[in-house]
Amino acid sequence: AAGGGDGDSSSSSSSSSSSSDAAFVADADAGYAAEPPMKVRVATAALYLGVGAGASALLDRSFDDVGFVFALATCGTIAATVFEVGRPRTPTRGEAQAQDALENAFLDFAET
């Protein structure tokens, strides 16, 4: 009986994972902010780690001056931070629906 329960819990967590993956894809396709699944986060982190290590190795071999490479990395980090801070935040599906409801309520009020 214990083995059957384990199989049931893994299948329910698998279907829960699939439904959260589908919800992420649906929200992302509709243009809403959504929390990515763990496998997307891990894949993204691995990609960025690989690209960063490759860029570091390439720059270290291309330029003899480590100070120049450090300055280049610092400038890139500052530019990325300014871009990230200045970028408008995308609302979640719930936030967008609440905003639409508020706007509709205001328009109803304004028409009366």
Say if residues 92 and 32 touch (Cβ distance below 8 Å): yes
Cα 110 off chain centre by: 38
For position 43, what pLDDT does the model report? 96
Residue with tokens 């609440």: 98
Residue 23 pLDDT? 86
Cα gap 18→50, rounded to integer Å: 28
CA distance 3 to 79: 54
The pLDDT value recorded for residue 14 is: 61
Stretches where the chain sits below pLDDT 50 are 1-10
Residue 15 CA, distance from chain mean position: 22
Alpha-carbon distance 67 to 82, whole Å?
23
**What pLDDT does residue 18 have?**
75
According to the model, what pLDDT value does residue 3 have? 44
pLDDT (0 to 100) of residue 12: 53
